[in-house]
């Protein structure tokens, strides 16, 4: 058994060690320790100052690069999109401050911006899946009825389109505030067949003859239907149709609006030739924390919109910040599927003067039948297209 003397000896040893440390620190070792500590502190201060100087240099370089790009953009893009009409679309999370500078660049290129369509969260909300299914059936039926009437006679088409449009708008109005747990009405959903929107006659007809569009991994039939119908409202391949209002297209867009799927600025029913889809940063990259796995594949849904816009018009460009080109981003998703990136151009420098310039040049390339992946994230074809480039 350990006796009291053992405890006394242990305590004395501890206090002696403390005393020796204090004496040495205050005496022989004081000067050496102080000098070394001061050296380390001064060294760290110097490194921090150097890093701050480097950071400031990089910031100034980026500011100067952006200022230079803004200055030369009007000259570089002049007449690149002369006579073209472009519609802009945004998805939830996009920094809308990026829309203004991009619009200015499009105007400098000679393009007319027909309007802007903001896709709402309801487009991908899992709680609205049944409502979107029902809306897709209703709008498909209206589109098919309008197409059939158009084939019969021009006057009959006008009356049928008005009737079908009213039916679609009424159905969409009833979906704008759905009851919790409401089930989808029975009926047949439109499914992509052979890359085209089967039975969506009005969609293809009003779009001026949409070309076949590649399927998007993860996108459902309803996603493809709604994307195709929206694209038919906004863009066309027919130069005789571009820039002209269409009552049926207006009613379809109203139906999307009443269902809470889109918001509209300008008059995008004066259909455009081409489209730009602005996508946001990846939440994990922007917030610094991992995001939970979504209940639905929102990236696939936005990709389906981009592909539909490209197929219905004369080309589409998807632009977003750098992180959109990383895992979980729309730009990365399109680049990861061969049929998609061969059709839709992507830009991962969105929201910057360089991104605006690149987007304009990519639209010009799309109009000439080409496509590309531009920026600096992952596998890209270069920072931007060559001036005047088309299909290689």
pLDDT in tens, the chain (392 residues): 556 666 666 766 767 777 666 655 565 555 666 677 778 888 888 888 888 888 888 888 888 888 888 899 999 999 999 999 999 999 999 998 999 999 999 999 999 999 999 999 999 999 999 999 999 998 888 777 666 665 555 444 444 445 545 555 554 544 444 433 333 333 323 323 333 333 333 333 333 444 566 788 888 899 999 999 999 999 999 998 898 887 788 888 999 999 999 999 998 989 999 999 999 999 864 445 545 444 457 999 999 999 999 999 999 999 999 999 999 999 999 999 989 999 999 999 999 999 999 999 999 999 999 999 999 998 899 999 987 655 44
* Judgement on whether residues 149 and 293 belong to the same structural domain of the protein: yes
Question: Residue 131's domain spans which residues?
Answer: 82-374
209: in domain? yes
* Judgement on whether residues 220 and 109 belong to the same structural domain of the protein: yes
Residue 265: strand pairing partners? 116
76: in domain? no
211: in domain? yes
* Judgement on whether residues 177 and 258 belong to the same structural domain of the protein: yes
Q: Determine how β-strand 192-193 pairs with β-strand 196-197.
A: antiparallel
Task: Give residues with Cβ within 8 angstroms of 265, minimum separation 6.
Answer: 115, 116, 117, 118
70: in domain? no
Nearest CA-CA partner of 40 in 29, 51, 32, 30:
32
* Judgement on whether residues 258 and 286 belong to the same structural domain of the protein: yes
* Judgement on whether residues 157 and 19 belong to the same structural domain of the protein: no
Total Cβ atoms within 10 A of residue 85:
25
Number of domains in the chain: 2
* Judgement on whether residues 34 and 90 belong to the same structural domain of the protein: no
φ, ψ of residue 236 to 5 degrees: the values are -150, 155
* Judgement on whether residues 41 and 103 belong to the same structural domain of the protein: no
């Amino acid at each position: 058994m350990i006796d009291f003397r053992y405890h006394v000896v242990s305590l004395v040893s501890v206090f002696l060690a403390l005393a020796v440390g204090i004496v040495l620190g205050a005496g022989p070792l004081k000067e050496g320790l102080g000098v070394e500590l001061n050296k380390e502190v001064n060294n760290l201060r110097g490194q921090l100052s150097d890093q701050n100087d480097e950071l400031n240099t990089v910031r100034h370089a980026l500011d100067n690069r952006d200022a230079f790009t803004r200055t030369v953009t009007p000259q570089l893009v002049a007449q690149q999109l002369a006579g073209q009409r472009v519609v802009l679309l945004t998805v939830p999370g996009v920094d809308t401050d990026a829309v203004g500078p991009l619009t200015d660049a499009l105007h400098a290129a000679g393009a007319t911006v027909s309007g802007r369509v903001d896709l709402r969260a309801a487009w991908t909300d899992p709680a609205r899946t049944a409502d979107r299914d029902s809306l897709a059936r209703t709008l498909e039926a209206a589109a098919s009825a309008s197409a059939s009437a158009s084939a019969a006679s021009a006057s009959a088409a006008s009356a049928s389109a008005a009737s079908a449009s009213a039916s679609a708008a009424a159905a969409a109005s009833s979906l704008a505030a759905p009851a919790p747990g409401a089930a989808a009405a029975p009926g047949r959903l439109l499914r992509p067949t052979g890359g085209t929107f089967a039975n969506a006659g009005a969609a293809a007809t009003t779009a001026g003859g949409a070309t076949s569009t590649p399927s998007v991994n993860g996108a459902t039939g309803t996603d493809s239907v709604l994307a195709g119908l929206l694209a038919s409202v906004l863009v066309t391949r027919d130069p005789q149709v571009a820039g002209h209002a269409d009552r049926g297209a207006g009613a379809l867009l109203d139906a999307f609006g009443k269902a809470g799927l889109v918001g509209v600025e300008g008059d995008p029913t004066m259909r455009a030739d081409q489209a730009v889809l602005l996508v946001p940063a990846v939440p994990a990259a922007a917030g610094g924390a991992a995001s939970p796995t979504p209940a639905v594949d929102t990236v696939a849904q936005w990709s389906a919109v981009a592909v539909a816009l490209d197929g219905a018009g004369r080309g589409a460009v998807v632009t977003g910040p750098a992180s959109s080109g990383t895992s979980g981003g729309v730009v990365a998703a399109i680049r990861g599927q061969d049929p998609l990136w061969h059709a839709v151009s992507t830009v991962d420098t969105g929201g910057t003067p360089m991104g605006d310039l690149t987007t304009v040049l990519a639209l010009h390339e799309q109009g000439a039948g080409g496509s590309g992946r531009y920026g600096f994230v992952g596998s890209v074809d270069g920072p931007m297209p060559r001036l005047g480039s088309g299909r290689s």
